[in-house]
Amino acid sequence: MIRVAVVGAGVFGAATARELHRRGHAVTLYEQYTPGTVRSASGGDTRLVRTSHGENEWYARLSRRALELWREVEQETGTELLELTGVAWLDTVGSTFADTSAAMLDRLGVPYERLAVADAERLFPSLGGDDLTGVLYEPEAGLIRARRATRALAASVPLTIARVRPDDPPAADVVIWAGGAWLPKAFPGLLDIDIVRRDVYFFGVNGSWGQTPGFCEYDGPFYGHGELGGLGMKVAWDGGATSFDPDGERVPEEATLARVREYLARRFPALTDAPLIGSRVCQYELTGDGHFLVDRHPERSDWWLLGGASGHGFKHGPALAEYVADCVEGVREPEPFHRLGPREGSAGLRTAGR
């Protein structure tokens, strides 16, 4: 048994703390606000759950394992987390993401459908756009209630509310720094991670949008989902890279709202005049290539750096935690693409990069 301090109770930190606790280690989880705070990237109402990751098998397998583990968390805690209404990848002219994802889904034996536009119209009450060429539909994908899931993970381990800094670290054999958007602040100059804002909007829709699948346009880039639990229909633009301070104010930008409204009218024409009923400003922690960060601190072998969720990390939480726990226990080494250092190119794992 080792004494482990996990700093940051977002999905990466909370899931890792839970996994190490399950393995018999003495774990304390530290959080500066509260698990599920809306200031964190894990504090949103919902996140998409999907297997499609283009041609990248490592993340496709990780997401599949995570889905099993999320179901276990539901059973253990008696908390409803998943809403698997499917995810529709809306394919547009020139996009290759659906083709490479379908090939990987075939390889892994994950069910999907390739739909012509006319056939895909059954998925939504309204669907349009001359640039739409088809749909890759994952029926076993969908949504997870993110804030609820984060709190369920964190509830399984001892929690201390405190803002922990590297110059005053907690006493432990191993410290895992999983501070999300605050990680670059804690280790300035060390991490190749940018913190950028994302504005998310919710529109008033009728009940026919209640069981529609989540949707993504890889090259749009847009994503969202239909009505869930009274939130309204969620739509977000996944472009741009405006630097953001996670401790600052969160006021949505009118220019982004206008872009989202234009998309809503083009892709789901029946919602052209749908009223805006809510909004939220969140953030991504973007690495240079979209891969996560899992590595030892270069000067402290007992410290681990965990982060760079890059907008696609939430769904992987409990499965990534198994991998991180193996690394901490010395069972395996981090993958080369998760190491510290400059990142180049794109892993093609999410709709937008830097």
pLDDT digits (tens, 9 = 90+) for 234-291: 999 998 878 999 999 999 999 999 999 999 999 999 999 999 999 999 999 999 999 9
pLDDT score recorded for residue 348: 80
- The pTM for the full model equals 0.96
Integer Cα distance of 221 and 239 in angstroms: 6
Integer Cα distance of 94 and 76 in angstroms: 44
The structure tokens 């909370």 sit at 14
First-to-last alpha carbon distance for the chain, in angstroms, is 40
Integer Cα distance of 200 and 45 in angstroms: 11
pLDDT score recorded for residue 325: 98
Closest CA to 142 of 239, 222, 63, 37: 63
| Token pair belonging to 118 | 């006319």
Over residues 144-160, the pLDDT tens digits come to 999 999 999 999 999 99
In which residue ranges of the chain is pLDDT below 50?
A: 353-354
Q: Is 231 left (phi over 0), alpha (psi -120 to 50) or beta?
A: alpha
Integer Cα distance of 224 and 150 in angstroms: 20
CB 135 within 8 A of CB 102: no
Integer Cα distance of 149 and 170 in angstroms: 26
Give the list of residues 6+ apart from residue 255 with CB closer than 8 angstroms, or none: none
Percent of the chain with pLDDT over 90: 92
